[in-house]
Every structure is written in structure tokens, then in C-alpha cells.
Structure 1
């Protein structure tokens, strides 16, 4: 089954192909879908992105389970987007520049926030306009790239969750880089306005959950809920929860 529209629909008030209601799709967990597998990230040209063995293992488990369920699985060829890191940083910094903080109060900000604010105040109107225009084109390219699939599968995270204190508490720019390296597959989904869910599928040797991300078409939430429900049943994690619950 294939659902939704194949086009790039920027500025749509209601996504074409909106296939709700969603509760039924999540409960029934039915359907056969075409799933693309994506391992490249638009951050690849700006940062050293490494996907850990644990993240790859979780992805491989999801691929195997979807294959057993009869879904079509296809590896996607990488499509570099070297302009993404600069454009994303520009709009992120420009947004931070609107935070109402001045003078001595700036010292109260965390280093990451202070770095974003300082850089954002130096962003010109032209730089911001160029970044927004570039990301608008990027959005269309992503939707077009994904249009052959009902969902696209990626690792949810590049590495297991880091321990408390791992993020640099002094260097804001390095802290930003660490966040990119930990979550290189999620920001571009927000930029593209696409629906997505994450599903835990395995535990690390330390008992930490590792999962996968499913990205849908515009308005394709029901397919994601159906796929997520099917995967949950296969990995038998639906009723698992922390011991403190």
C-alpha cells in the first residue's frame, strides 16, 4: 500500500494525503509499505558523524523485522547537502538573538545559549534571508527524495545516550557540535516539516534503549503509526517501562 501525495508541498495548511484518523492505525497496525533506509545525514559535510555499533544493530534489527513482515526495503543512495550546516546554524543563531537578555544577565546564560546569542546578533538580514531560501529548497529536495517511499528508516540516535556531564559545559560551540553528532538524523526532519516517530528496538549492554526513526510523507502519520505498531509487536517492547513506574 502507498499513501499520500508524492509532491513537495511547502506552505500547505493541510498536508495533501492526510490519512487520519490515527488511533485506528496505531491499534490495528496493518498494511504493507515501501520503506527506504537512509544512513547519510545532511550534517556529514560539517561535522564528523559516526554511527555506533549499537545504533547500527538497532537499525539492522528493525530492517530484519520489517522484511519478515513483508514490507519492501530499499537502501537509499547518499545525497550530500553541503550547505545544510551553515544554513541551519544561521537560523538557529538568528533565533537565539531574539532572546530578551542584555548586559550582566548574559553571564547567566549557559555557554551554548550565549554562543548562539552572540553569533546571532552578528547575522545580517541578507545572511538570514539566504539561509531561509536555501532551507526552503532543501525542504523540497528532501520531500522529493523520499517520495518513492511510504516511510524512511534511520537510526534514532548516532550513539547510546551519553552520561551526565558529557556535553561541554564551557565551550558553547563544541556543545553544539556534540549535540549534532549525537542526533544527526532529526533536525532536518523538522526543517522539512515531515512527520516522524522513534521506536526503541534493542537495549545496549548497559541496559540503555536504542531505537530507530521512521519519517513519513507529508500527511503520512497513519502509515508511521501502523509501522510503529507492527515493529513494537515484533520486538516485544510495547509493555516495557522503567522500574520506577
Structure 2
């Protein structure tokens, strides 16, 4: 499914897309424009929610959702419409926009995030489904901003693999080619946005889980830095890999959701709009194709991955930024930390050693998860501690990798998204290695705790999207979104 061109800022949702539900597609306008349409009464919260639910049902073969709950969503939408009518008599439009920046926008959390009243599977058949009585903090924040959850989106088991396939529901299919994976672990959320079912989706990223599906589906996905999102774990430990961030069709929409998740005013939105209007001051950008998994793994970039990187360099150069290959400053020295591959695997699987499942439940785990679990239990604690300590030292000196540059650029994916079932058809050991080869530049950003954004820049002859990754210093999320917006401008 091809993505329509960007809608000018002056546009508003067309009538046929708010009344004729057979043509539901949230990509025909920006998220901010949909929200404004609710505020002005052009469309109601119930109508937008119905549009999303209809689109989700019509495109159910994409496997975006593990669970849809129309009654749950429409009840909340009706409450939103009632509340809106009351508030409009007592608040200015500006005050209302500040109080409810996501007013009426349908969305959905991945099925790793507790949402009150919606089933929580964690993408696994090994443990019973629960129904949380309250929202997780991030879900509460997004809902308080006016967004309406319509269900839970597809994820891999416990969010571990980079493809969203499990025993619980149908796999998440890539809207650009339904025979291919949509990536993971926010695979279902990316499918819903890429297919126009939702305007934006919140995701979480522990090793690339926002950026990988965003790249696979041709979207903008922002992984904030460690501790930037107030509802996330604030620990500075390298073991705190997971951060929450937005997935959207364009950087402007990602900025809207990021501001809500970061619990700030329209900061990112203002910076993005200013960048689009006047440009950004020239930046020094270092480019590297060296993967931290090398030399342990042989990383081979597809021709389109290289072309995407070249396109990204050209785009940035046209905007006056200074681009330089990292080898010009590092010479023959290794760019990333030594022994990254083995140390990361120890870090990534260590938390599974304490997984509290019975032996009968463990029989229902995916083969890859069982492999991770057994590896974690078999690894001597001293080895795990040494790996964690080495990566902690690497993370503590994260800014050193920037050298003379303001930010770094890498490819995002090394190859096109594989066909469904390709990863899981392998022995678990090979499965994990091939995931690393497919996503050779994502996990190191989580280890370092830095922010990074995926930016689509190239479409191949077969219609697949190819991206670059921009990695920033701590606190540069807004700058990354602004740069992403100007690259698409």
C-alpha cells in the first residue's frame, strides 16, 4: 500500500473520509488536523473512533491487533464528546489544546502495556491472559491527553524478537508487502499507522522495537534517550534498555505524541515547525556503516540499504549540513566497544533467568524464548556481571562516540524485511544471529541510552521503504525530529 504525499498544513480532513467509513484512512491529514477537526466540531470523537474501528475490521488480515474492543472504545469516545461540549463553554481553544492535545485521536498500545479493561497477553501462550484494573502510567498519560484506545496491537512473545509473530494471534503483516514481516516488537502499532488505521501509535524500544517496525513499514519512529520519558524507568543502569516513544507517518505527528509522552507543552512541535519554516543551523554529522556486531558477525548491507544511506547524505547536504565518514577521524581503530556481540546477548537475556513460569508453562514458550531462557540460566553469573559491567562502562562514556560530530547517521535495516515465518523456521541460535544481521545498528543505541530516530528516505523498485537512523546526544529528541521533518520537506 503506497503512502500518499504529505498533506499541506493548511489542509483539513476531507468530508468523505469522516462520513464514508469505507474510505477510512487517517493518512489524508495530519494528526494535529484531525484533532483540530474534533475541536471545531467538524467531526466527533465517536466518528473518529468508529472510523478507526471500521478500518481495523476491514483490514483485519494485516494482523495489526491482538484484541479490538469497540464497546470499550466507543464508550470512552462518547464520554470525550460530552466532556468536550462542557469544556468549550469554559475554556479557550488554546487552553483546551493544552489540556487535551490528543483530543479524540484513536490509538492503541502494544500488548505489553497494561490498559485498564483490555486483555493483556504479553504476546505469549505460556501464561494466562489478565485484564488490568488500571492503566500503566504511560497509558494513563496518553489517555489523559484525550487519546482513545481501540484495542491492543500485535507483539512478539514478551517483546523479545524483532518480528511480531506468536501463538496468540495472526502475525503482523507489512502493509507494503503482506507476505513480509512488519518488524517488532511494536509491529502491530506500526502496521496500524502505516495502513491508515490509526494516526499515531505509542511504542516501546528495548533494542530497536520502535525503529525497526517503523523502518520496515516506512514510518518515522523515535526512540527517546534513557530517562527522557517521565513514565519510564528512570534508572541510569545499562540494564534499563526500554524507552517509550512515538510512531507516526511524518515527524510532525511524532512530535505531537512525543510532547505528550514527555509531559511537556508543544515544544517538539514548535521546534519542528520552526525548522520547516526557516531550516536548521548547520550540523556536523558523522556517518558510519560499521556495526557493533562486527567482526563477530558478518554484516552485509543490501544495495537499497546503501542507496538509502547515500540518499540521506544527499538530503542532509542539500540543507547545508556537514557530512563526514567516521573513518576520517577514527582511522583504523574500532568505532564501537569490543566484544559487543557476546556482551549484548548476555545483557539481553539476563532478565529471563528470573522468569517465574512452571515447567508446564515453559513448554508453551516459543523456541527462541526457551533458547534465551536456557542460555541465561546456564551462563555463570560472573560472566553475566562482567558483560553488564563492560557495557555499563561503554554507556557511561556514550558521548565519546560523537567525537567532533553533533550526531551520527547509520543505515537502519541491513536488508528488506524477511517473509513471514523466515526467522522462526530456523534453529533458535541461527534465528537470533539473523535478527542481529537484519538490525545491526539498533540495539547499541539502547545500550548507550541515546535518542535516535528512524527516517524513511528511499523506496525500492518493489515498493519497500528504506531508512536511515539518526543518533543524537542526550536531550536532542526535538532536534532529531526537526531534522527528520526537514529531510522529508
TM-score normalized with structure 2 length:
0.43
Which one of the candidate residues 61, 67, 73 is aligned to 2:311? 61
- After superposition, the Cα gap between the structure-2 partners of 1:39 and 1:140, relative to the gap in structure 1 and judged at 3 Å, is farther
Matching residue of 1:11 = 236
CA distance in 1, matches of 2:296, 2:398: 18
CA distance in 2, matches of 1:142, 1:55: 26
How far off is 1:86 after superposition? 1.0
Matching residue of 2:488 = 232
How far off is 1:203 after superposition? 1.0
How far off is 1:177 after superposition? 0.6
CA distance in 1, matches of 2:325, 2:396: 21
Which one of the candidate residues 440, 448, 453 is aligned to 1:197? 453
How far off is 1:135 after superposition? 0.1
Gapped runs of 5+ residues in structure 2?
1-234, 238-265, 328-333
Pairing of 1:129-140 with structure 2 (within 5 A): 129-140=385-396
Q: Are residue 156 (structure 1) and residue 412 (structure 2) matched?
A: yes
Q: Are residue 216 (structure 1) and residue 441 (structure 2) matched?
A: no
How far off is 1:101 after superposition? 1.9
CA distance in 1, matches of 2:418, 2:274: 35
Matching residue of 2:271 = 25
- Deviation digits for residues 181-208 of structure 1, max 9, x if unmatched? 0000000000000000001111112101
Which one of the candidate residues 24, 49, 63 is aligned to 2:299? 49
Structure 1 runs (4+) deviating above 4 angstroms are none
How far off is 1:58 after superposition? 0.5
Q: Please state whether the residue corresponding to 2:461 is helix, strand or coil.
A: coil
TM-score normalized with structure 1 length:
0.83
Asked if the contact 1:96–1:120 (Cα under 8 Å) also holds between the matched residues in 2, the reply is: yes
CA distance in 2, matches of 1:179, 1:107: 23
Pairing of 1:96-107 with structure 2 (within 5 A): 96-107=352-363
Matching residue of 1:75 = 325
Larger radius of gyration: 2
Asked if the contact 1:111–1:170 (Cα under 8 Å) also holds between the matched residues in 2, the reply is: no
How far off is 1:170 after superposition? 4.6
CA distance in 1, matches of 2:363, 2:427: 14
Which protein, 1 or 2, shows the higher relative CO under an 8 Å CA cutoff with sep ≥ 6?
1
How far off is 1:108 after superposition? 1.0
Q: Please state whether the residue corresponding to 1:212 is helix, strand or coil.
A: strand
CA distance in 2, matches of 1:166, 1:205: 22
How far off is 1:65 after superposition? 1.2
Asked if the contact 1:150–1:223 (Cα under 8 Å) also holds between the matched residues in 2, the reply is: no
CA distance in 2, matches of 1:46, 1:187: 15
Q: Please state whether the residue corresponding to 2:410 is helix, strand or coil.
A: strand
Which one of the candidate residues 363, 366, 372 is aligned to 1:116? 372
Q: Please state whether the residue corresponding to 1:44 is helix, strand or coil.
A: coil
Asked if the contact 1:45–1:81 (Cα under 8 Å) also holds between the matched residues in 2, the reply is: no
How far off is 1:63 after superposition? 0.2
CA distance in 1, matches of 2:405, 2:478: 14
How far off is 1:220 after superposition? 1.3
Q: Please state whether the residue corresponding to 1:108 is helix, strand or coil.
A: coil
Gapped runs of 5+ residues in structure 1?
1-9, 13-19, 234-245
Asked if the contact 1:51–1:158 (Cα under 8 Å) also holds between the matched residues in 2, the reply is: yes
How far off is 1:33 after superposition? 1.1
Asked if the contact 1:168–1:174 (Cα under 8 Å) also holds between the matched residues in 2, the reply is: no
Q: Please state whether the residue corresponding to 2:395 is helix, strand or coil.
A: helix
- Deviation digits for residues 100-125 of structure 1, max 9, x if unmatched? 22312222111110100001011222
Q: State the superposition RMSD in angstroms.
A: 1.9
CA distance in 2, matches of 1:82, 1:103: 37
CA distance in 1, matches of 2:353, 2:387: 15
Q: Are residue 126 (structure 1) and residue 382 (structure 2) matched?
A: yes
